[in-house]
């Protein structure tokens, strides 16, 4: 499970992966162009520069982009090329250029006559690089930086992890697998699902609307008339009908009335990747991380079955896109940790969503027959 928390409302934590999110300070549309061959200075190798990098002080995810520094970016399989325009900088010597990198970060500064100009600075590259294999050189009016990817199979949509790059990249990684949003608030689930659907170009669905249309009454009226169990059963039936859908973001019912709040109603939620949106009572980021870990390993809440947890300490509708971005980042990390997961989800659906996730049993397995699922799992 990947666990995130963001402040305010947006921290990130995970027992195995520890990340922090920051939008690029300078982000322009990607322009893919071939490299020009005429360089005017000898390439510089950046071995060992990671210790010199000064981390960004970034507490909020910014959804804004700035075009102050224009760049061109291309992914050439194992190598990345970043070209920064120096047209107005009047750089006279490579000694004025300072490129600092580590696995996740990049800072580019020009130091001239006692002044320092930052061309680009981000602590959240799209994925990890090999900092010791970074090369940079001046090419006429451009600074060219070549970076070596750690995961050479991963296609980078952009140099930085942003809403735009995550929307493109995660869409490719998902391979059509749907996403289910669970949590205590139907409204929050719906708002975040809508943002995710827009970014991924998926179909937004919410079980509350589907249930109210089918039942011809509000959820509140249904609960009053037949009780929470009847509503949960109804939502479970809706989830079953949606389980074979692809490219959908499904917002589920929040609170105790929903199927996701009941451990025995998850068999069709496993058809997609599940994201738990959870409001935190923690006072700071570290406490939120610890809270998330305890909830995951305690397992008392059925929501702890989710593959991704996003923590927030307060909620406003304007946070929806930031929470959606954090969800995409966590989903990216989850799938990159096991690239077979989308295919495994597809197999789970084809075998009938029998509830044997993540240890899928062979065809013909009877869920009502007790077996050692770990021994027989595919």
DSSP string, 329-366: HHHHHHHHH-TTHHHHHHHHHHTT--S--SSPPPTT--
The model carries a pTM of 0.81
In this prediction, residues 60-70 reach a mean pLDDT of: 46
Confidence check: pLDDT of 256 > 60: yes
CA-derived radius of gyration, the chain: 23
pLDDT at res. 282:
76
Which is nearest to 274 in space by CA: 246, 304, 308?
Answer: 308
Options 2.60.40.790, 1.20.1530.20, 3.20.80.10, 3.40.50.740; CATH of 22-148: 2.60.40.790
Confidence check: pLDDT of 183 > 60: yes
CATH topology assigned to domain 163-376? Rossmann fold (3.40.50)
Stronger pLDDT, 52 or 155, i.e. the higher one: 155
Query: Per DSSP, what are the bridge partners of residue 116?
Result: 111
Please report, for the chain, the start and end positions of each structural domain, with discontinuous segments joined by +.
22-148, 163-376
| Average pLDDT of the chain, as a whole number | 82
pLDDT at res. 70:
87
Confidence check: pLDDT of 45 > 60: no
pLDDT at res. 28:
30
Supply 276's token pair. Answer: 């738990």
d(CA 116, CA 121): 13
Other C-beta atoms closer than 10 Å to the C-beta of 212 total 16
In this prediction, residues 56-77 reach a mean pLDDT of: 57
In this prediction, residues 148-154 reach a mean pLDDT of: 96
In this prediction, residues 72-81 reach a mean pLDDT of: 92
Name which of 57-71, 198-212, 253-267, 346-360 the model is least confident about: 57-71
Supply 305's token pair. Answer: 């079955």
Confidence check: pLDDT of 368 > 90: no
Which is nearest to 53 in space by CA: 154, 129, 112, 115?
Answer: 129
Residue 269 DSSP symbol: G
d(CA 170, CA 163): 10
Confidence check: pLDDT of 26 > 60: no
Residue 156 DSSP symbol: P
Same fold, 22-148 and 163-376: no
Binned at pLDDT 50, 70 and 90, residue 87 comes out as confident
d(CA 179, CA 249): 5
Q: What Å distances lie between residue 226 and 19, 174, 223, 230, CA to CA?
A: 45, 38, 5, 6
Other C-beta atoms closer than 10 Å to the C-beta of 323 total 26
Sheet containing 44-45, strands listed edge to edge, beginning at the edge strand earlier in sequence: 44-45, 135-139, 142-148, 79-85, 71-76
Residue 182 DSSP symbol: E
pLDDT at res. 367:
83
Stronger pLDDT, 167 or 77, i.e. the higher one: 167
Instruction: Give the HSE-up count for residue 101: Cα atoms under 13 Å, Cβ half-sphere.
Output: 24
pLDDT at res. 56:
25
d(CA 231, CA 220): 10
Could you give phi then psi for residue 370, rounded to 5 degrees?
-65, 125
């Amino acid at each position: 499970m990947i666990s995130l928390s963001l402040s305010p409302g947006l921290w990130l934590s995970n027992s195995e992966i520890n990340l922090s999110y920051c939008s690029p300070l300078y982000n322009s549309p990607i322009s893919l162009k071939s490299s020009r061959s005429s360089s005017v200075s000898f390439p510089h190798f950046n071995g060992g520069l990671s210790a010199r990098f000064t981390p960004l002080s970034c507490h909020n995810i910014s959804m804004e982009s700035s075009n102050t520094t224009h760049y061109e970016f291309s992914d050439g399989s194992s190598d990345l090329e970043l070209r920064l325009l120096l047209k107005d900088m009047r750089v006279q010597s490579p000694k004025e250029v300072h490129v600092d990198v580590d696995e996740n970060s990049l800072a580019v500064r020009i130091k001239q006559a006692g002044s320092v100009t930052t061309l680009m600075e981000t602590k959240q590259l799209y994925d990890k690089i090999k900092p010791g294999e970074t090369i940079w050189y001046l090419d006429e009016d451009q600074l060219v930086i070549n970076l070596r990817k750690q995961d050479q199979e991963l296609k980078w949509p952009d140099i930085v992890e942003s809403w735009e790059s995550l929307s493109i990249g995660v869409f490719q990684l998902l391979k059509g697998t749907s996403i289910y949003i669970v949590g205590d608030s139907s409204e929050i689930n719906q708002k975040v699902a809508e943002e995710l659907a827009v970014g991924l170009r998926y179909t937004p669905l919410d079980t509350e609307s589907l249930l109210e249309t089918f039942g011809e009454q509000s959820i509140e009226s249904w609960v009053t008339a037949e009780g929470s169990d009847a509503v949960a059963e109804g939502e479970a039936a809706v989830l079953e009908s949606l389980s074979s859908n692809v490219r959908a973001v499904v917002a589920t019912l929040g609170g105790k009335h929903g199927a996701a709040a009941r451990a025995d109603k998850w068999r069709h939620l496993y058809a997609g990747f599940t994201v738990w949106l959870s409001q935190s009572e923690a006072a700071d980021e570290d406490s939120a991380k610890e809270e998330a870990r305890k909830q995951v390993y305690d397992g008392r809440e059925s929501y702890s079955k989710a593959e991704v947890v996003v923590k927030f300490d307060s909620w406003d509708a304007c946070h929806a896109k930031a929470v959606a971005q954090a969800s995409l980042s966590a989903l990216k990390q989850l799938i990159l940790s096991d690239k077979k997961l989308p295919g495994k989800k597809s197999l789970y659906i084809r075998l009938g969503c029998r509830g044997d996730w993540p240890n899928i049993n062979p065809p013909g397995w009877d869920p009502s027959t007790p077996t050692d699922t770990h021994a027989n799992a595919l």
